[in-house]
Amino acid sequence: MAKTDVPPRYLYVFAHGAGAGMHHPFMERASEALDRHGIATHRYEFPYMKAGKSRPDSPAVAEAAVREAVSEASRKRLPLLAGGKSFGGRM
């Protein structure tokens, strides 16, 4: 997460797309842009990406990963937004 002088007002739970993980340049740039507007990001990876596989997880596995990420992010005590790029946004 990029650091700015704008205190975060929201936390965006931000999922990556099917072909690239949470450190992809798009994800980095989007997180930095959001941060400048007081929206911190909580990026996470789906299990298939962590395992180095190219095929995305089934919807049930991916949805469980989203629930886990939202649960973890909720501990930050900020209002949450959730979404992502392509596959991540659909989950």
> Is the per-residue pLDDT at 1 higher than 50?
no
**Which pLDDT value is given to residue 35?**
96
Supply φ then ψ for residue 80, to 5 degrees. Answer: -100, 145
Q: CB of 9 within 8 A of CB of 76?
A: no
- Convert the pLDDT of each residue in 47-89 to its tens digit: 999 999 999 999 999 999 999 999 999 999 999 999 999 999 9
This prediction has a pTM of 0.90
| Closest residue by Cα to residue 71 from 86, 82, 59 | 82
The residue count of the chain comes to 91
